[in-house]
Amino acid sequence: MSIEKEEKTQIISDYAQHQKDVGSPEVQVAILTRRIKDLSLHTEKAPKDNHSRRGLVSLVARRRRLLNYIRKIKPETYPDLIQKLGLRK
């Protein structure tokens, strides 16, 4: 269920603000979105796995907090990030 190293590196390079960026909120949201997608597929296959479901809920909450932060601090990049990740609308 974890992200492969090459795939994570690709996500980081796609959403990085500069060359050495590995932890900006945009990158964190992109990685969380990928993890949420994987866990969502898992919970569809295993509906009684409540431990994974709880982890999924916590990841969604963390992503929501980061998105609120981005919307407050960098409102100009927020719509582009939402569109690029395919979240909402």
Q: Where are the domains of the chain?
A: 5-85
Output the DSSP codes for 39-74.
HHHHHHH-TT-HHHHHHHHHHHHHHHHHHHHHHHH-
**What pLDDT, on a 0 to 100 scale, did the predictor assign at position 51?**
96
pTM of the full predicted structure?
Answer: 0.91
Q: What angle do CA 70, 13, 39 make, to 5 degrees?
A: 70
**What pLDDT, on a 0 to 100 scale, did the predictor assign at position 22?**
87
CA atoms within 13 A on the CB side of 36: 17
pLDDT in tens, the chain (89 residues): 678 999 999 999 999 999 999 899 999 999 999 999 999 999 999 999 999 999 999 999 999 999 999 999 999 999 999 999 999 85
What span, in angstroms and rounded, lies between the C-alpha atoms of 50 and 69?
29
**What pLDDT, on a 0 to 100 scale, did the predictor assign at position 41?**
96
5-85 to CATH, choices 1.10.150.130, 3.90.1150.10, 1.10.287.10, 3.40.50.300:
1.10.287.10
Q: Which residues contact 32 (CB under 8 A, 6 or more apart)?
A: 59, 62, 63, 66
